[in-house]
A and B are shown apart, each in its own frame.
Chain A
Amino acid sequence: MSLFKARDWWSAALGEGEEFDQGCLCVGDVDNSGSGHDKVVVGSYMGMLRIFAPHANKSSEGVPVEAQLLEVQLQNAIIQVEIGKFVSCSELLHLAVLHPRKLSVYSVSGTAGNVEHGDQYQLKLVYEHSLQRTACSMTYGTFGGVTGHHSLCIQSMDGMLMFFEQDSYSFGRFLPGFLLPGPLVYNHRTDSFLTVSSARQLESYKYETLAVATDAENRQDPDLPLKTGGKRLTPDWTFVLGEQALDLCVPTFSHSCASIFVLGERNLYCFRDNGQIRFMKKLEFNPSCFLPYTTVMDGTTNLLLCNHTNMLLVYQDVTLKWAAQLSCVPVAVRVANFPELKGVVVTLSSDGHLLCSYMGTDPSFFSTPKVDAREADYEQVDTEMKKLQKFIREATRTQDILPKTDAEEDLIITAAVSSSMDSPSQALIPDLDGLPVPSVTVQLTVKASCVMQSSKLTVGVQPPLAVTQDQFVLEPMGFGASVVVEFSAFLNGRYPPADLTGDVTVSYSSPTGVPRVHQSRFSLPLALICVPSSPNKNTRFKISVDTNQPPVDLASVFPEFTADSEDKDGNGLAFQFLSGGKVSVQASKTSQRYRLQSDSFEDIWLVVKELIRRFDDHFHKLGVKDFKKSFSGPVPLQDYFLSVDHHFQLRVSAQQYQDLLSERAVQFRAIQRRLLTRFKDKTPAPLQNLDTLLDATYSQVIALAEAAEENRVQLEEAFVRLRSATHLLVLLLSLWQGLNPEQTAILEATLLPLLQDTPQLGWEESCDAAVSHLLRTCLSRSQKDQATSLAQTGSPVLGLPQDTSRLKKHITLMCERIGKGGRLSLAAEANVQVPAQVQNLAAPGGVEPISESAGDQEELALPQEAAKFIKKKQASKKVKKDKEKKEVSPEASVKEEGAEEVKKEKKESSKEKKESKKESSKEEGKKESRKESSSSSSKEKKESSKEKKDKDKEASKEAGGDKKVSRKSSVKVKEKKKEPEAGDG
């Protein structure tokens, strides 16, 4: 990562396929020209030795021949070249070349030629040493403090240091604990050698210590303990780096800061001569080579550092001063002075790219590649755009992220209830009082018109009915696939159910993962729970249903129940429930009347229901359009109240059991506590029959629990019976007054608010609340009542009532009022007329498109329509009231849904409208005066200010759109810093 690249001054590509490493580059006035200008000496692993004198050459193509002074192919690989005073009695600089098994020292000399480009350079071997061991690196210096000439020290691959004083071999020493060679350098200030050993520590060996240590020739194995003579070689000081070092350098240019630089694999260290750390810097990249080159400020050192991401970095101690991009990863870096330019950075890459460069502000090599910017043909683009937009519009209409609500059914469930009973019955209870319990097979076909995944089918029937399997896991289905599942339904209890319908629920997820649910119903045959029997004349409960059509033969309507009823006239049928009850149906011969009678009130329900359904079917088949059924009344409320009372009684006893149980439990715990203290006591005391008491209480608790459990079962049964009875009552009421389906639904919701009753919330109280609400609202005696009732609500907490008299009274009252022609409707406003304009506003449920324009219009409209303003105000109040109701009771929300229907009705009944219109103004006035004491003008202000606020909010929402639309700019600049090699690039 750098802004600039290193400016190319001179460069050359050396050889082909040659390899170079750290030691292969060396800079100095090797030919002793005396000008002080440096030459660049490069040796390669292939044995090529080259010397260059680079100079600015604008037209450098290929290998710059002019700058190359010398090129020699030597016999062996060159692993290091150094320039120094290696020849005794000579102040001249010589070139030391290290081969794996040989050290050669050459002198390089140039003779001025006559021709224009023709200085001649020669390489002359001065002396050479063959080495016993494979060399790996060398260092030179004035070992032992001799001045005037340099000695050489060669490190071998197996850790022996060989010292040469000019042309003579002085001694060799093994480094202790050696495994792999590290960098080796000579520190002239302390006359010691520094190396980073395999133990990953920086070690400093005094030259004197080395000199007096055991001779390497005596011990071939460095690991063996020394036997004779000499001192054991120990380092002067060590410092644990914890990492391998790439290079070591002891700069000699300044005496003011005597420091040792170590380039580790991950850190750069600077030490004092005594091995104390001066500073260190953690590197966030893989360095390749470095060179401390000068001191600019006192006490600091500038150094060049190259890394494996092609960067040349200039540091002043730890501060980065400059970063420049290079074209390749250098393995060695030097600073050289050339005739035209001083302080040129010479870098050599592993594949022989020799580069002389300087720092400049050329932008780095990187230039962003061009995006394929085609010449825009606007017409073509326009047509393409149109085409695409058409596609998009099409797509948004058909496939959206959110599934459309009005999408066609993607699943069809058809239930086929088999017409005959299963031949071996599946029922769990084989027979009830001698009557075999049948079961019926239901076959469900699930047909998918889209791909369905992880679908599950659940069957639910009402107790005491049961099915053989109530959950099915379906295989994923494709388009148009269908699956058939079968199960049997049967009676699993000793009382008839309240309802013979069953629910089927399929839950599945669409291919996009949207979970969906589909529901369906099926109804089970009556024959599942009853058998034909002979009619019974004398029963407690009788109900007559009138029709407007001539009587039909019951046998034709109930073919399956006529089989063995050998009735004489064929107009009587009897249904014997498996659980014991019996219902007889008698068709009158003369009148169009059917009489149902039974010993228990609730048993009649299922039969009546079936009867009515079959009659409807029958006459529908016959093509009779205006078939009407009616019930002449009176409504058998007393019969109904019997089952209410029974249910209530059981609830009360359940409550009692509950109380008794908790009492006993408290007692049990108290006895336990006492016993425990007795047992804990250090001095044992007599138990005083507490154990007997505990046993007794325990058995009491158990007995009570059992009784409570029994009671619960009874309660369940009673509730089912109560539901049957209520269904019957609802049916009778609707037949009696000829209620339309909506009203019937309301009535049903009122009387049957719960599917199950719990100890906390039972049928009685919730039904009472619903009924009294109806009484107070749509069935109230006067409009006035109705208005006031809105403000108050029923008792805040529903709980088990003291007795059922209140409920009975209410139900009776409700039946009376319905009988007197009261209409059931949910909207309290049914009778309170609302101006039409307001309705328009309220109809969408207060939903206004939140757009600026709409808001503006409203604002503009305000002052103009001052006359209508009052109406508008009403409107807003109306909406508020609706909301209020929603808060107050759950029923109200149901009401809300019904409101629209009511409104439809309203239009039809113009008469009512007129009436109520008259009243409405009156009422409005009353209400206002009652509710709000403040003057109307202030109210107006309030209203308008509120509206304005709304609008402001809207406006601000528009204006600050981007505020709310969360602004998230940054997908962050991602840099893989985790991996050091990818660190900076």
Chain B
Amino acid sequence: MEVTMDPMFLAWSYFRRRKLQQCSDICTKILQENPYDQAAWSLKTRALTEMVYIDEIEVDQEGIAEMMLDESSIAQVARPGTSLRLPGTSQGGGPTQAVRPMTQSGRPITGFVRPSTQSGRPGTMEQAIKTPRTASTARPVTSASGRHIRLGTASMLTNPEGPFINLSRLNLAKYSQKPNLSRTLFEYIFHHENDVKNALDLAAQATEHAQFKDWWWKVQLGKCYYRLGLYREAEKQFRSALNHQEVVDTYLYLAKVYQRLDQPITALNLFKQGLDHFPGEVTLLTGIARIHEEMNNISSATEYYKDVLKQDNTHVEAIACIGSNHFYTDQPEIALRFYRRLLQMGVYNCQLYNNLGLCCFYAQQYDMTLSSFERALTLVANDEEQADVWYNIGHVAVGIGDLTLAYQCFKLALAFNNDHAEAYNNLAVLELRKGRIEQAKAFLQTAESLAPHMYEPHFNLSILSEKIGDLQSSYTAAQKSEDSFPEHVDTQQLLRQLRQHFSVL
């Protein structure tokens, strides 16, 4: 039996169940009959926003322009331990670079890909172009709106006949007077249309209408300022919002501003202040852990990740980071347990199997190693991942002494991703063993140019040059190696030896 229901109610119910498309369709129908139905209009706005909504806190893609033309830097030469730009030496006694690979900016590789994992300004334009900044692509975002442009086009797709709201014809002043419409409209403009200027306009008028007493509007103003790169203004707004009302989001936004301003210590203090108000808040704890990790203070980062797990033991990021930390501190068995836990929790992807395979190998559970890698290979999503998996298989092959296999694996890694500097380096070592000096040298030089932050190619090149008697290039390469890894004992020995040599001459 057919039961008639009020379409507006149905749309509202659909929205609550997140059947957004159906909700939007019904609203469109209602609006066709009655274009001035504010409730339907508002509901459709919300549905459209919700379709593309991404938490602004997690969106952090710094474009090249922001990075290179940044004028808000505080100190060019910051004291060690106070800046994200100068990673400095490890303070927490974590594993050295020899054990744990570094990212381009000199930070240890983390266990979890998140936006701005590789934050920290690159020094030069060239480096900026080379630094991978997003999780999926190795190429940088060309401007602030890499993701945002995509969202903009999404808005066109949902409405083939044109945008749902024509922003240019909107009387923002009128809407800002209506608190029951303005917030929805703001979110639509900000998230769906991605028109920060109009959003800012609306927010400014609305906060005025609220007599500057509404913390929410201040946070939104701050978000707009942040998008526009006006960090100091954003900071002011967030601060003022916090004075009105302590909210977790505001703390996160403000900390984000401070991180962008390269004031990690302030951000840490802010997080701790936030924790006083919201004890055990997972996002705040995660924020602290991330900053510690970026500052190369691995042990405190791990402490905080453990705190996170005490609050939320299904937190994937924390498990992954602790796992990778255990892996790099020579406890593959424990790392294995963390990764297995992830697997049991239903994380089922290439990366996890890859890590499992490596852990198994180093924990001497050889039977599982290859099958893990096999699974990882069946699950790869793109060529970069495939290259990484093959690279690791090559590593295993080196470990068991099957150099032919290793050689082929590294070759495969390069076939899938010919920017894979580590594979070039290892291939060079293998070539060197075969006695093919020229090839080895070429590979090492390629690796060097692809990843100047890695010390291995420099060091290997230095050894190679020393062997063939080219002491000058050996010396320069050794110096480069020392630059990227000052504590490396072998490099220092080599340098000493070379200096002795030169002084004898």
Contacts and interface: CB of A to CB of B under 8 A. Distances in A.
Interface of A: 1-3, 19, 21-22, 45-47, 73, 76-77, 79, 100, 134, 136, 157-158, 177-181, 197-200, 240, 242, 244, 246, 265-267, 277, 279-282, 284, 286, 288, 308, 318-320, 323, 325, 331, 350, 363-364, 366, 368, 371, 392, 401-402, 405, 845-851, 879, 882-884, 886-887, 949, 953, 956-957, 961-975, 977-980, 984-985
Interface stretch (B71-79, B125-133, B192-200, B242-250): B242-250
B114 interface: yes
Contacts of A246: 16
Nearest to B101: A968
Contacts of B358: 969-970
A281 B327 CA distance: 32
A949 B418 CA distance: 36
Contacts of B58: 977-978
Most-contacted residue by chain B among A134, A968, A975 (CB, 10 A): A968
Contacts of B342: 973
Given A318-B280, A971-B385, A974-B135, A3 B435 contact: no
A71 B254 CA distance: 55
Contacts of A177: 179-180
B353 to A, nearest CB: 9
B216 A240 contact: yes
B16 A22 contact: yes
Interface stretch (B86-94, B228-236, B307-315): B307-315
Given A282-B249, A978-B58, A181 B12 contact: yes
B311 A323 contact: no
B442 interface: yes
Interface string B1-28: 1011110110011001111000000000
16 contacts: A1-B345, A45-B13, A76-B3, A157-B39, A158-B39, A180-B42, A198-B180, A246-B16, A281-B278, A288-B17, A368-B375, A848-B467, A884-B505, A973-B323, A973-B339, A979-B54
A2 B343 CA distance: 10
A970 B42 contact: no
B314 A1 contact: yes
A530 B223 CA distance: 80
A293 to B, nearest CB: 20
B189 interface: no
Interface stretch (B154-162, B166-174, B293-301, B424-432): B424-432
A244 B18 CA distance: 13
B55 A46 contact: no
Contact of A366 (B111, B346, B443): B346
Contact of B111 (A392, A882, A887, A972): A972
B228 to A, nearest CB: 21
B438 interface: yes
Contacts of B278: 279-281, 318
A284 B283 contact: yes
B116 to A, nearest CB: 11
B12 A966 contact: no
A164 B349 CA distance: 56
Contact of B311 (A21, A240, A318, A401): A318
B500 to A, nearest CB: 10
A972 B55 contact: no
A882 B316 CA distance: 60
A199 B214 CA distance: 11
A280 B247 contact: yes
B292 interface: no
A364 B5 contact: no
A179 B38 contact: yes
Contact of A973 (B111, B375, B388, B490): B111
Given A965-B426, A965-B456, A970-B109, A887 B55 contact: no
Given A242-B183, A972-B351, A961 B429 contact: yes
Contacts of B8: 134, 157
Contact of B46 (A73, A244, A884, A968): A244
A242 B216 contact: yes
A966 B442 contact: no
3 cross-chain pairs, A with B, having the tightest CB-CB distances, nearest first:
A849-B435, A198-B180, A242-B216
B347 A180 contact: no
Nearest to B60: A978
Given A845-B468, A884-B505, A198 B181 contact: yes
B341 A134 contact: no
A971 B388 contact: yes
Contacts of A980: 53-55
Contacts of B469: 845-846, 879, 882-883, 886
B366 interface: no
B216 A282 contact: no
B13 A21 contact: yes
A198 B247 CA distance: 20
B150 interface: no
A179 B346 contact: no
